[in-house]
Structure 1
Amino acid sequence: MAVGSERKSRLLGADEIDVSFEFFPPKTEKMEEALWSCIERLAPLNPEFVSVTYGAGGSTRERTHNTVVRLVNETKLKPAAHLTCVAASKAEIDAVAQDYWNEGIRHIVALRGDPVGGPGTSYHPQADGYINAADLVGGLKRIAPFEVSVAGYPEKHPESPTFAADMDNLKAKVDAGADRIITQFSFDNTHYLRFLERARAAGIWVPITPGIVPIHNFKQVAGFAARTGASMPSWLARRFDGLEDDPATSHLVAAAVATEQAMDLVDEGVKKFHFYTLNRADLVYAICHLLGLRPHPQTQPVSAAVKPAKARATG
């Protein structure tokens, strides 16, 4: 960088960056309170959309549905529901998608899904089900004009034999009608930038949004990374070394690491980010603030939705 030149990330103003947030559906009333507290904190940042995950084997189907429906009915946020091919027939998945459309949900994150047997087991499509994510995308587009996002893997999907095969699979999803690619998180921006180059060279021109995960718990996130094929750089591990019993300092380091990663991507021309929140708002909010985002005065608070549905219904 030339002496005296300004980094783009230092010149950010309001509304220059678009963000989206991922949440997971709560299992308990306490987790539900934590989720809606997180949503209340992040909603004023006016995200482009928020997505709600779908458990392995469709294990959270009902909870995902309930969370997404509450988002569309009780907030001004634009929710996206995750949907997978696993352990369901085409007819069952189509019925879920149609229900979403009828409820006012217009955005689906279409994924193949993890094998029913969990990590280390092979994926086998159900005989009467969708074969893979590309097949699912096509099915969704036939049901209704959904906006459909799909996953991309900067370090390739763990089951893909080669980067070329992985890119062919991604191209099939886009050719089937996908409108956006959201990448699996990675910690070295080189992986994202090379992935972007390979995708453009393959004729993929839909937006490709990098996924960012703030490291609230290094051991936990390192486990996520190992299961999804994302590498954990040695320099990053060193930054958290010795902080196992020092959560306050670990928190500060995590904010610095994620902000540095995002700012470096801004300097490369990236203006959209997808944050894997893990249903915790503090680090994500701080990073967004440093990216120039500020609460929108016109955004109504979602405090009415913070109470669990059961408590609200009986109150």
Structure 2
Amino acid sequence: MKITEHIEQAKGKTLFSLEILPPVKGQDINCTFKTLDPLVELKPAFIDVTYHRQEYIYKQKENGLLKKYSVRKRPGTVAICSAIQNHYKIDAVPHLICGGFTKEDTEDALIDLNFLGIDNVLVLRGDPIKTEKTFVPEPGGHAFANELVQQVVGLNHGKYLDDELQETHATDFCIGVAGYPEKHFESANLSLDMHYLKQKVDLGANYIVTQMFYDNQKYFDFVTKCRENGIQVPIIPGIKPLTAVGQLSSIPKNFYIDLPEALVQELLKADCSSTISQIGLEWSVNQCKELIKFGVPALHFYTMSNSKHTKFIAQQLF
């Protein structure tokens, strides 16, 4: 079922959804099930599975020359999504990224997803890998998420890269894209970021999932600005509890967001890790209650494949 259909059928009730990481290389699907088992009891409407680009390492050969090796630490997004849908009968949403994919790779992935009965994709540009100062597109791939949206929409209209193919079948993917209440870190300002977001929606994106945030007013303002700019698709807020003092620096650094002064002060006064965790969890619970009152279509939890904190929060809400 499409994400938009889940939202329509909920008739104004806020849905519960979550995002997981694929297991690291060498682990099997049971690692994913172990993460999900405690959460499926709460009946999530859908489960996102992230995609991780291959990185590169160089090893010196006996002749002294360096050889480049491709390394993907978290493989299997397509397979994991298929396993989730078959095991739990819950819709899985694979992330589809520009980085590391040619247009042909993208088309192949979409054909596989369509064959497996997966109805949704979350389309992202993707982040630079460690060896890149800025994002570098794959040769023969897409440089921007809006280009990737166009390719998915094209396939939804039966438009394949080989225009000489006969008897092609159109796909019917529901397309999600990312939104940034505090703007994408590479955008000059929020207005320009909004311009590109509207472009993705105008091209055919069906819903938006936001970057995490800790100040609900920023989400409210973001929704208002979207509506003022003619963006009418559902906007799902992303939630991640802050549960360790080290996250006071790591979250702003890695995700380019601000932390509310009140939350920071409470965390700095805490005298042990368990107190810090409890403060962060209570903040998230109160944040989610306010978002539900506002009428958000879903709460989307970034679990980082740790079910404990997400389950605690969701149990207070659903």
- Give the structure-2-normalised TM-score: 0.80
1:259 counterpart (273, 285, 290)? 285
Give runs of aligned pairs for residues 25-174 of structure 1, distance below 5 A. Answer: 25-27=22-24, 33-57=30-54, 59=72, 62-117=75-130, 121-143=133-155, 144-174=171-201
> In the TM superposition, what is the alpha-carbon distance from 1:76 to its structure 2 partner?
1.1
1:272 counterpart = 2:298:
yes
CA deviation after TM superposition for structure 1 residue 265, in Å: 1.8
2:217 counterpart of 1:205: no
User: Deviation at 1:288?
Assistant: 1.7
Partners of 1:235 and 1:57 in 2: CA distance? 39
Indicate conservation of the 8 Å contact 1:211/1:276, yes or no: yes
Residues of 1 paired with 2:196 and 2:131: CA distance? 21
- Looking at structure 2, the residues matched to 141 and 26 of structure 1 have their Cα atoms a distance apart, in angstroms, of 30
SS of the equivalent of 2:75 reads helix
260-269 or 220-229, which moves further after superposition? 220-229
Measured after TM superposition, the shift of residue 227 of structure 1 is 2.1
Farther off after superposition, 101-110 or 57-66: 57-66
Structure 1 residue 97: deviation in Å? 1.6
Amino acid at match of 1:156: K
Greater percentage in helix: 1
Distance 1:116 1:222, change over 3 A: same
Q: Which amino acid aligns with 2:123?
A: A
Question: Which residue does the alignment assign to 1:20?
Answer: 17
**CA 1:230–1:255 in structure 2 vs 1: closer, same or farther (change >3 Å)?**
same
The Cα shift of 1:250 comes to: 2.5
Give distance in 1, aligned partners of 2:197 and 2:215. 21
Check whether the contact 1:153–1:184 (CA below 8 A) recurs between aligned residues: yes
Does the 8 Å contact 1:57/1:115 carry over to 2? no
Q: Please give the secondary structure, in 2, of the residue aligned with 1:183.
A: strand
Distance 1:162 1:57, change over 3 A: farther
Distance 1:247 1:36, change over 3 A: farther
1:19–1:272: 8 Å Cα contact kept in structure 2? yes
AA of the residue aligned to 1:290: Q
Distance change (3 Å), C-alpha of 1:57 and 1:242? farther
Percentage identity across paired residues of the two chains:
30
Alpha-carbon shift at residue 271 of structure 1 (Å): 4.4
**C-alpha displacement of 1:242:** 5.3
> What is the CA deviation profile of residues 20-54 of structure 1, one whole-angstrom value per residue up to 9, with x for unaligned ones?
10000011567865532221111122212100011
The CA distance in 2 between the partners of 1:116 and 1:281, in whole Å, is 26
RMSD: 2.3
CA distance in 1, matches of 2:123, 2:183: 17
Q: Please give the alpha-carbon distance, in whole angstroms, between the structure 2 residues aligned to 1:154 and 1:130.
A: 24
Task: Tell me by how many angstroms 1:172 deviates.
Answer: 1.1
* Divergent runs of 4+, >4 A: 28-34
Q: Compute the displacement of 1:185 (Å).
A: 0.3
- The residue number in structure 1 matching 2:260 is 233
**Aligned pairs, how many?**
276
The change in CA–CA distance for 1:29 and 1:60 in structure 2 (over 3 A counts) is closer
1:60–1:19: structure 2 CA closer, same or farther, 3 Å change rule? farther
Q: Distance in 2 between matches of 1:38 and 1:16?
A: 25
Describe the SS at the equivalent of 1:126.
Answer: coil
Flag the 1:112–1:28 CA change in 2: closer, same or farther, 3 A: closer
Aligned amino acid, residue 90 of structure 1: K
- Unpaired runs of at least 5, structure 2: 1-11, 56-71, 156-170
**Residue 217 of structure 1: aligned partner:** 244
Q: 1:266 to 1:250 in 2, by over 3 A?
A: same
More strand by share: 2
Q: Quote how far apart the aligned CAs of 1:286 are.
A: 2.3
